[in-house]
Amino acid sequence: MSATVKKPVRIGTTDAELREAGRIGRAWDKVATKIVAATYDRRQDMIRVDLSTGAILSVPRAKILGFAKATPSQLVDLEILGGQETLWSDSVDDGVLLEQLVIIAAGEPILGVIGARINGAKKSPARASASRANGLKGGRPRKKSPTVPRKKAA
């Protein structure tokens, strides 16, 4: 029995597609939140991250999984990597993503609520169409108030 060898499939990307991908990447770079500076505050035992938005995140070192067991002297070599979205320490041989720092700083439950609010506030063609269709039907139905059973008179 002989084994069949499949030829590799080549995926062709046109110059126009490459230019468009580059344009999208450059546009994203202008609006994406990036880490512009990072330091370890030994006195407060916090990792301080300055963001491109002007905001500053201070996260307790002990809450960052990769840095929790690190000594203060190991965190002097923090580097910003990965498109300015990752903190890395060669001494610790570990790092943390910006999104993980935000989750640690704010808490995952509240970020879920905030994300839902943001997505709920977005306008889309589908939402506008559904709203128009509901308007033609007389709009959103009124909420019925709960009925409370009355006591019988004796």
pLDDT tens digits, one per residue of 49-103: 999 999 999 999 999 998 999 998 899 899 999 889 999 999 999 999 999 999 9
pLDDT at 27: 79
- The reported pTM is 0.62
Distance CA 70, CA 61 (A): 9
Domains, the chain, ranges and CATH?
Answer: 33-113 (3.30.2020.40)
Phi–psi pair at 84, nearest 5 degrees: 65, 30
* Residue 10 clears pLDDT 80, i.e. is over it: no
Q: What is the mean pLDDT of residues 26-43?
A: 87
